[in-house]
Structure 1
Amino acid sequence: VAGQWVRVGTPAGAVALDDAQRAEVARLAASGQTVVSVAIDGRFAGLIALADAVRASSRDAVAALQRQGVRVVMMTGDNVETATAVARQLGIDDVRAGVKPADKAGAVTAFKQQGRVVAMAGDGVNDAPALAAADVSFAMRSGSDVAIEAADITLMHNDLAHVAAAISLSRATVRKIRQNLFFAFFYNVLGIPLAAFGMLSPVIAGAAMAASSISVVSNALLLKRWKA
């Protein structure tokens, strides 16, 4: 640039730093910022601190998942200091920093081998292998096409709160399915022996079948009252 060699990169890679400069890098990283250093003609010129703003709703979303009994793990390619600072803001205890795309997929596979049901949320190209490896995966609408293609569910709003809502709704749906199976089996287990011994007239049997269908449909319609 203007006849000078300008190099921008990681603090450890762009140029050698002295103790004071390394201390400043550590301070910025501890506050949740990603730090890059700038060198001009091989000499240190300065530091640039970059940071993504944490959504106000993200901490509430993490708390909602934890209340549901979901273990939340944060995996990121950022350095340990930055990742730890962001995780602290979100209330996440388990942080995996400096993770490469292939390592994310490997971590998902390792959790599955432990017998866990794994959900993965991501929006970048580098998240696609882990999204594909998870039991269920979520991509953001604003995410990359590769992530959306790899994910099972695409959230129409870029808000992690909808991950908690999707899990809550799916659990409510499974409960309704089990309840409806109980109703269906109850009517049949009670009615078939009575009909076999001639103790149930066709009229009553038909009414019982209608009542079974009505109870199952009515119970399923209660899902319309579901709230996150």
Structure 2
Amino acid sequence: VAARGGAAAARVGADARAVAGRGVEARVDGQLLALGSTRWRDELGIVVPPALDARAAELERAGNTISWLMRADAPRAALALIAFGDTVKASARDAIAALAARGVASVLVTGDNRGSAAAVAASLGIGEVHAQVLPDDKARVVAELKRTHGGIVAMVGDGINDAPALAAADVGIAMATGTDVAMHTAGITLMRGDPALVADAIDISKRTYRKIQQNLFWAFVYNLVGVPLAALGWLNPVIAGAAMAFSSVSVVTNALLLRRWKGRAG
């Protein structure tokens, strides 16, 4: 910002790299600078003035994500803090309510700080929150949920950091607006970045499963009656052939009725 305003020349970083779950670092004018989470700041052993720490806590409680600009070389120090605010999608709360109506409990698992995570969870009506979770730890949280809650655990995510958890879940659901890694790892990809589509995906999956059960049942009954009649010669071959074709048509027609289904998200 200062460089754009003409107050300073823009500096170019070298040896830049991303540190998974923590942030990024690079060398600028010979100094190792890092931009990342409060957790990373604490791991580096950087102590900040009480007034600045209080301001960061205040911003976190307001639902912001805090990133620290730090000098990672000795003497280590915090140079600045940046607050990022997430905007919750208008349809997100309705999506959580729709899942609850279907008996699905929602859990928020995020790498963001506890204050930001708690604020977002409260706005969405989510009771269980796991904050400051590293990518590999997300998979462990999923495994723990499977062990303690029982039932089927689905993971919804769109980032590279979500890939381990998507793979660990019984059902991985990615957004088409997310990263390729997430989409390749997940079993289901929603074609839009609309959280309401998660409830729709559950609905269409259940309807499809019911259609499969119906078709298998009627195919079994049809053959249970028709095959003995044909084997005993009580059924004309022409009629038997026509009946067999009709059974296939009835199964396909029943399956095509799924096309009439319309989800909540359109």
Which category describes the TM-score, using the shorter chain as reference length? Answer: 0.7 to 0.9
C-alpha displacement of 1:17: 3.4
The 1:213/1:36 distance shift into structure 2, 3 A limit, reads closer
Partner of 1:192: 227
Give the TM-score of the pair, scaled to structure 2.
Answer: 0.71
**In the alignment, residue 49 of structure 2 is paired with which amino acid?**
L
**Pick aligned residue for 1:52 from 86, 90, 99:** 86
What's the offset of the Cα at 1:47?
5.1
Cα distance in structure 2, aligned partners of 1:37 and 1:209: 70
Q: Deviations over 1:71-130 (max 9, x none)?
A: 221100112221111011112112111111111111223334465322222122211111
Residue 178 of structure 2 aligns with which residue? 143
State which of 195, 198, 204 in structure 2 corresponds to 1:163: 198
Q: 1:43 to 1:108 in 2, by over 3 A?
A: closer
Letter in 1 for 2:256: L
Counterparts of 1:173-188 in structure 2 under 5 Å?
A: 173-188=208-223
Q: What TM-score do you get using the length of structure 1 for normalisation?
A: 0.82
2:115 and 2:233 mapped to 1: Cα distance? 76
How many Å apart are 1:211 and its aligned residue?
3.1
Q: In the alignment, does 2:70 pair up with 1:70? A: no
Change in Cα spacing, 1:37 to 1:192, as seen in structure 2 (3 Å) is closer
How do 1:6-85 and structure 2 match up within 5 A?
A: 10=38, 13=42, 14-18=46-50, 21-36=52-67, 48-85=82-119
Identity %: 54
Q: Which structure is higher in RCO with an 8 Å CA cutoff and minimum separation 6?
A: 1
Going by fraction, where is helix more abundant, 1 or 2?
A: 1
Aligned-pair distance for 1:174?
0.9
When the two structures are aligned, how many residues end up with a matched partner? 226
- Structure 2 Cα separation of the partners of residues 122 and 8 of structure 1: 24
CA–CA distance in structure 1, aligned partners of residues 95 and 225 of structure 2: 45
* Equivalent of residue 240 in structure 2, options 205, 209, 222: 205
When structure 1 is superposed on structure 2, of 176-185 and 191-200 the one drifting more is 191-200
**Unmatched runs of 5 consecutive residues or more in structure 1:** none
Instruction: Kindly indicate whether the alpha-carbon contact (under 8 Å) linking 1:119 and 1:137 is maintained by their aligned counterparts in 2.
Output: yes
Contact 1:58 1:160 (C-alpha < 8 Å) held by counterparts: yes
In structure 2, runs of 5+ residues without a counterpart are 3-7, 9-28
The answer to whether residue 129 in structure 2 is matched with residue 104 in structure 1 is no
The alignment yields a C-alpha RMSD, in angstroms, of 3.2
